[in-house]
Structure 1
Amino acid sequence: MGTTAVDRDRLLDHPSFPVFWAARVLSALAFQMSAVAIGWLVYARTGSAYSLGLVGLFQFLPMVVLTLLVGHVADQYDRRRIVQICQLVEGLTLAVLAVAIFDDWLTIPGVFAAVLVLGAARAFEQPTMAALLPALVPAVALPRALAISSSAVQTATIIGPSLGGLLYAVGVTAPFVIAAVFFLAACGLMTFMRLQRSVPRREPPTLRSVFSGIAFIRSRPVILGSISLDMFAVLLGGATALLPIYAHDILQTGPWGLGLLRSAPAVGALTMSAVLTRVPLRRGVGRKMFAAVIVFGAATVVFAASTSLVVSLVALAVLGAADNVSVVIRSSLVQLLTPDEMRGRVSAVNSLFVGTSNQLGEFESGMAAGLLGAVPAGVLGGIGTIVIALLWMRLFPGLRKTETLSG
C-alpha cells in the first residue's frame, strides 16, 4: 500500500524533529543576525567593497581546508555532539566580539579572525546537521521534512537580518550578544535530541574513506550536476553579498534597510517552502530545477539594476523563491541517493559546494564590485547564472531528464 499524505504527516511526529527544528531556527537566527552586524560593521569602518569580499573569503577558507575532515568526522562520531560543539564555539566567538566592541579594542583584522573561527565551526555544523535529519524521519517523509526544515531556516532568515539591523541601530554590541545567546540555546536543545535509527557501524579512518565522498559524487552525475549547478549559479549571481553597498550608497537607507534587503530573499523562500510543503514536487524535478536557476539569474539582474527599494525587495523575494526550489530538489536528491553511512562525507562535500557559492561568491562579488562597480558586477553575475543553467542542461542531460526526487 502507498503512503498517504496523512501518514507522511504522522511520520514527522517523531519527538526529536521539533527539537531539531527549534535548534536549527535558533542557529539560523544567530547566524543571520551576526552576518548583518558584521557586514555593516566592516563597511562602516572601512567603506571598502574589498573588505566585504574578504569577509566572504575568510568564511570560505575553512570550508576548503576542512571539508574532507568534516565528512569523515561526521560519519565517525556522534553527530549531535559535533553540532553542539560547533554551536558552543560560535556562541563564545560572538560573545568575545561583543566584549571587544564594548571595550573598544576590536580591529578589522580581529573581525576577520572571528569570521575565520565562525567559518570553521559552520564548516562542521552545516553538513553534520544535514546528515542528522534522515535519522530523525523515515525516508518516505524526507522530502516533506526537508521542506519543513527549509521553511524554518527561511523564517529565521526573514527575522534574523531585520532583528540584527534593528539591534545594531540600538547598539553595536546588541546583535552580537543576542546571537551568542541563541547559539548557546541551540547547543542546549541538541542535548534532548534522540535518533530514530541507530548509527551504523563506522569504517576505520583511511585515506580512501576520507576521499570517498568525492568519489561517490563523481560516480553519480545527477548529484554532481545538481550541486555544481547550485555552486556556479550562486557564485556568479551573488549580488546579495553587496547588500551593504546597495543599502548605503544606491538605495540611501540605513541598517534597518539592510535588514529588510537581507530578509527579502527569505520571504520569497518561505512562501515557496509553504507551497512545496502542501504541493510536493513530484514530476519533472530536473526541468523545474533548471527553470528555477534561470529565474534566479533574471531576478539578480533586476535587483542589480534597481534604484528603488520596493523593486529591489520584490526582486530579492523572487530570487529567494527560485533558490528555494533549487535547494529542496538538490537536498532531496543528495539525501535520498546517498546511503546513511556515507551521508556525513557526501554532505560535507555538498556543503563545500554550497559554501563556495555563498562565501566565495561574496568574495568574487566584492572584488568585481571593487573593479567594475556594484551595479555592473551584479548585472553580469545574473547573466552569467542564466548562461550556466543553459550550459548545464547540455552537460548533465541525466539531471535535466530526472523526473522524481528519488532519481
Structure 2
Amino acid sequence: MPPASTPPAAIPLPLHRHPGLLAFLAARTASSFSACVQAVAVGWQIYALTHSTTALALVGLAQFLPMAGLLLPAGHAADHFNRRVIVVTCQAIEALSALLMAIAAFGGWTTPWMIYAMVMVFGAARAFEMPCQQTFLPSLVPAHVFPRAAAVSSSLFQAAAVTGPSVGGLLYGAGAGVCYLVCALGFASACAGTLCIRLVFAPRPRAPLSLATFVEVAHFMRARPDMLGAISLDLFAVLLGGATAMLPVYASDILHAGPVGLGLLRGAPAIGAVVCSIIMVWKPLNYRAGARMFMAVAVFGLATVVFAFSRSMAVSIIALAVLGAADVVSVVVRSALVQLRTPDSMRGRVSAVNMLFIGSSNQLGEFESGMLATLIGPVEAVALGGLGTLVITGLWIRMFPTLWRVDRLDDITPE
C-alpha cells in the first residue's frame, strides 16, 4: 500500500505483487484475440456465402439470444459456484466449437446454418464465462489499484482487438479453416491461463434459482442511478451507433478493400482504444469521470457519422480509431462503478446484468444495424445510428445527473 501522501496519479501498478493478475491478463488477452479472429472469419464467410445484410444481422441475433436467455442461470452460477471452474469449462467449449468449424471449413461443407449454430454455442458459453471473469479483477488487486489495472486490462484487450482482426483478415486468405484453427488454439491457451489463476473459493449457501434473486439486483441497481445510468448509456449508445455489423459491406462494396481491408477496419477501433487505455494507465480518470464519459459517448456518435459517409479507407480507419478511443472511457467508468460498488456476494449477478446490456449493445446492435441497412441502405443506417447516439447522450445527461457528477474512481467502495 503506498504512503498516504502519495497522490493517486503517482501510484504504480505493482504487477510483480499480483502474479494472479498476470495470469488473468494473459488468459483474457488470448481469449479476446481468438474471438476477434473468429469474428472476421464469421463475418466474411457468412457474407461470402449469402451476400445478404440480413444474414449479417442474424449473426448478431444468434449470439445475443443465448446470452439473454441464460442471464438468470449464469448470474446465479457466478454467485454460488466456483467461478474459475465455470470460466475454464466455457473456454474449453469455445475451443472445441472453433475446432469443429475448422474441420467443416477444411472439408468444404460449411453452411450458413452451421455458422449460426456455432455462434449460438459461443454466445451461450460467453453468457456464463463473462460474468465470472469480470469478478476476477477486483479479487486480484486492491481497490486503489483497480482503475489502473482496469486500464491495463482494457489496453491488452484492445491490443488483441487490433491484432486479431488484422491477423484474421490475413489468415482468411489461406481459408476460413485456418482462422478457426487459430481460434481453437487461442481459446485453449486461455483455458490454460485461467487454470493458473489462484482465487480463493468460499462456498456459499446454495440458494435456489429464482426471479427473486434478480429482483434483489434490480433494487440494488435502482438505488444507484449512477451505475444504472452508465450501463444503460452504453447499451443505447452502442445499440444505435454500432457500425461493426456493416464492416463486411463497407470492405466489400463501398471501400472495395477485400478481407484484408475488413481486418484493418475491424482493428481500427482497437488502435484508438489502445492509445487511450495507455494514457489512462498513467493518467487515470480521477477527475470529472462522469462528465468525461458523457463527452466520450458524444465523440463516439460523431465518429460514427463520419465513418458512415467516408469513401476513403484512411478516413474510415481514423474515424473508427477515434470511435474506439471514446468507447474505452465509457468501459473504464462503467467497470469501476459496477465492480467496486457491488458487494462480492452480488457481483456475479450484477455482472450478468451488465453483460446482458453489453451483449444487447453489441450483438443486438448488429442485428438492428443489419435489418435497418436492409430497409434504408448501409450508409444511411450507420449515419442514423450515430445521430441517435448523440440524442441519447443529451437525454441521459438530464435523466442521470448523479452520473454526470461522478468525480473520482479510485475511492469507490461497496455499498
Please tell me the TM-score bracket, short chain as reference: over 0.9
Offset at 1:132? 1.2
2:391 aligned residue: 387
Q: Find the aligned partners of 1:11 and 1:34 in 2 and give their Cα distance.
A: 30
- Of residues 252-261 and 8-17 in structure 1, the stretch that sits farther from structure 2 once superposed is 8-17
1:253 aligned residue: 257
**Percent same amino acid among aligned pairs?**
53
**SS of alignment partner, residue 160 of structure 1:** helix
1:287 aligned residue: 291
Write the deviation string for residues 166-223 of structure 1: whole angstroms up to 9, x where unpaired: 000122210100100110111112111112x554735623522244333322221111
* Structure 2 CA distance for partners of 1:337 and 1:78, relative to 1, 3 Å: same
Counterparts of 1:2-401 in structure 2 under 5 Å? Answer: 2=4, 4=6, 8-10=12-14, 13-195=17-199, 199=202, 201-202=204-205, 204-207=207-210, 208-401=212-405
**SS of alignment partner, residue 256 of structure 2:** coil
Q: State whether residues 11 and 141 of structure 1, in contact with CA within 8 Å, keep that contact through their aligned partners in structure 2.
A: no
Q: State whether residues 64 and 363 of structure 2, in contact with CA within 8 Å, keep that contact through their aligned partners in structure 1.
A: yes
* Structure 2 CA distance for partners of 1:3 and 1:19, relative to 1, 3 Å: farther
- The letter for the 1-side match of 2:204 is R
Q: State whether residues 154 and 267 of structure 1, in contact with CA within 8 Å, keep that contact through their aligned partners in structure 2.
A: yes
Q: Find the aligned partners of 1:117 and 1:111 in 2 and give their Cα distance.
A: 10
TM-score, normalised via structure 1 length? 0.97
Q: State whether residues 12 and 145 of structure 1, in contact with CA within 8 Å, keep that contact through their aligned partners in structure 2.
A: no
Q: Find the aligned partners of 2:153 and 2:123 in 1 and give their Cα distance.
A: 22
Offset at 1:7? 5.3
Q: Find the aligned partners of 1:329 and 1:256 in 2 and give their Cα distance.
A: 33
Offset at 1:140? 1.3
Q: Find the aligned partners of 1:46 and 1:105 in 2 and give their Cα distance.
A: 15
Write the deviation string for residues 96-123 of structure 1: whole angstroms up to 9, x where unpaired: 1111111122211111011100010111
Write the deviation string for residues 114-166 of structure 1: whole angstroms up to 9, x where unpaired: 11000101111112111111111111111111111011100000000001110
Offset at 1:252? 0.5
Q: Find the aligned partners of 2:261 and 2:23 in 1 and give their Cα distance.
A: 32
Q: Find the aligned partners of 2:97 and 2:143 in 1 and give their Cα distance.
A: 36
Q: State whether residues 296 and 329 of structure 2, in contact with CA within 8 Å, keep that contact through their aligned partners in structure 1.
A: yes
* Structure 2 CA distance for partners of 1:206 and 1:125, relative to 1, 3 Å: closer
- Of residues 116-125 and 3-12 in structure 1, the stretch that sits farther from structure 2 once superposed is 3-12
**SS of alignment partner, residue 135 of structure 2:** helix
* Structure 2 CA distance for partners of 1:48 and 1:342, relative to 1, 3 Å: same
Consecutive unaligned residues of structure 2, counting only runs of 5 or more, are none
- Of residues 67-76 and 197-206 in structure 1, the stretch that sits farther from structure 2 once superposed is 197-206
* Structure 2 CA distance for partners of 1:11 and 1:168, relative to 1, 3 Å: closer
Q: Find the aligned partners of 1:3 and 1:36 in 2 and give their Cα distance.
A: 48
Find runs of 4+ consecutive structure 1 residues off by over 4 angstroms. 5-8
Q: Find the aligned partners of 1:404 and 1:356 in 2 and give their Cα distance.
A: 28
Give me the CA root mean square deviation: 1.4
**SS of alignment partner, residue 173 of structure 1:** helix
- The letter for the 2-side match of 1:356 is S
